[in-house]
Amino acid sequence: MFDSLSDRLGGILDKLKRRGALSEADVGEAMREVRRALIEADVALDVVREFTEKVRQRAIGVEVVKSVTPGQMVVKIVHDELIAMLGADADPIDLNAPAPVPILMVGLQGSGKTTSTAKIAKRLTEKGKRRVLMASLDTRRPAAMEQLATLGTQVGVTTLPIVPGQSAVQIARRAMEAARFGNYDVVMLDTAGRVTLDEALMAEVAEVKAATAPHEVLLVADSLTGQDAVNTARAFDDRVGLTGIVLTRADGDGRGGAALSMRAVTGKPIKLMGTGEKMDALEDFDPKRVAGRILGMGDVVALVEKAVENIDIEKAKATAEKMRKGAFDLDDLRDQLNQMQKLGG
């Protein structure tokens, strides 16, 4: 999903790394190129503006640590700001609530919502050792109910028996009651999807939420739809209130803009990524790992982090001043070699 963006940013930052010194003009030009790359990757414009301005402000006049170049410091700044934009830390599904814990799955038709519901249920059953009950609330498409039942059989997770004629709220209440009597730990409620956002869909989801008080409300969004996915996330969050996002088709050749915009636009974390059609093709969304994947420069970032951690800034300044005055001696050389040893050099 990030291959194209990774290539573009890699080329821009490679140029910076090769320079011995950076002027404000150098940083400004690099940020203009980064801005173009992010816009072409379909990142929301307001997110692009905020990101590039933060990087520019930190990069200009940056306190450069001895043993790393200014360009390497800028790579580290871009890396850090990417992580901040993506959400800083991984944010797994929260089950810290009295059982049965309701999880409400929302999204547009075709986003992979029903499949994602089954994938999450499988993961919670196998890795989390939880008893999970799934229920389809899609009263308009009987095929959707049958699909969830089929997937439930496939992954070994119980689905609520289908009772024709019930409303979405009635099914949701029945699922909660069945889960309580059956001693289930988690109830996955798969709401109806629509081809487009409409008031009827939002009203139904809001009613189900009011009836079940879900601990998690997860939007399933197709990463290949780019800005449409971001707009969908904003609409659901404004109307219903999300707790997190599941990004599907993250293994596709989309431009990655949805992933980079979602957290910044909604303030809600991307919790999981669907990475294929198989039922175990589901990954935790780890901002640090994703940022590393986008930049492909983990070695440079690690070097800068180690330098910042191990090098005495004041001592480095004093040494530089002694070198400038021609007063650098063997004791100073020994100190420099000791600091290089700390870096693994």
CATH code of the domain covering residue 230:
3.40.50.300
pLDDT band at 301 (very low <50, low <70, confident <90, very high): very low
Matching residue, tokens 């004093």: 318
Give the mean pLDDT of the chain: 83
pLDDT at 300 over 60: no
User: In angstroms, rounded to a whole number, what is the distance separating the alpha carbons of residues 17 and 14?
Assistant: 5
Residue-number span of the structural domain to which 39 is assigned: 3-89+294-299
- Whether 211 and 342 map to the same domain: the answer is no
pLDDT of residue 246 exceeding 90 = yes
Beta bridge partners of 2: none
Nearest CA among 229, 242, 228 for reference residue 191:
242
pTM for the structure as a whole: 0.79
Q: Are 250 and 1 in contact (CB under 8 A)?
A: yes
159 membership: H or E segment, kind and range? strand 158-159
109 with 243, same domain: the answer is yes
Q: Residue 298's pLDDT band (boundaries 50, 70, 90)? A: very low
Residues 266, 135: one domain?
A: yes
* Alpha-carbon separation of residue 135 from 49, 161, 176, 210 (angstroms): 42, 8, 9, 17
Which residues 6+ apart lie within 8 Å of 31 measured at CB?
A: 52, 55, 56, 59
**Residue 173 within a domain:** yes
Higher-pLDDT residue of 290 and 154 is 154
Q: Is residue 216 domain-shared with residue 67, that is, in the same domain?
A: no
Closest CA to 236 of 102, 108, 56: 108
Residue 85 has pLDDT above 60, yes or no: yes
* pLDDT interval class at 259 (50, 70, 90): confident
Tell me the two tokens of residue 171: 């099914």
Determine, yes or no, domain membership for 7: yes
State the pLDDT confidence band at 336, using cuts at 50, 70 and 90. Answer: low
**Three-point CA angle 224, 91, 243, nearest 5°:** 75
Average pLDDT over residues 66-84: 75
Q: What is the pLDDT of residue 299?
A: 41
Confidence at residue 62, expressed as pLDDT on a 0 to 100 scale? 58
Dump pLDDT digits (tens) for 303-334.
Answer: 445 555 555 666 666 766 777 777 777 777 77
Q: What is the mean pLDDT of residues 331-338?
A: 72
CA distance 177 to 196: 31
Q: Is residue 122 located within the same domain as residue 227?
A: yes
Task: Tell me, yes or no, whether 281 and 211 share the same domain.
Answer: yes
The neighbouring-strand residues paired with 221 are 247
Could you tell me which residue, 43 or 63, shows the higher pLDDT? 43
Taking 90 as the threshold, does the pLDDT of residue 21 lie above it?
A: no
**Residue 212: pLDDT over 80:** yes
Name the more confident of 118 and 78.
118
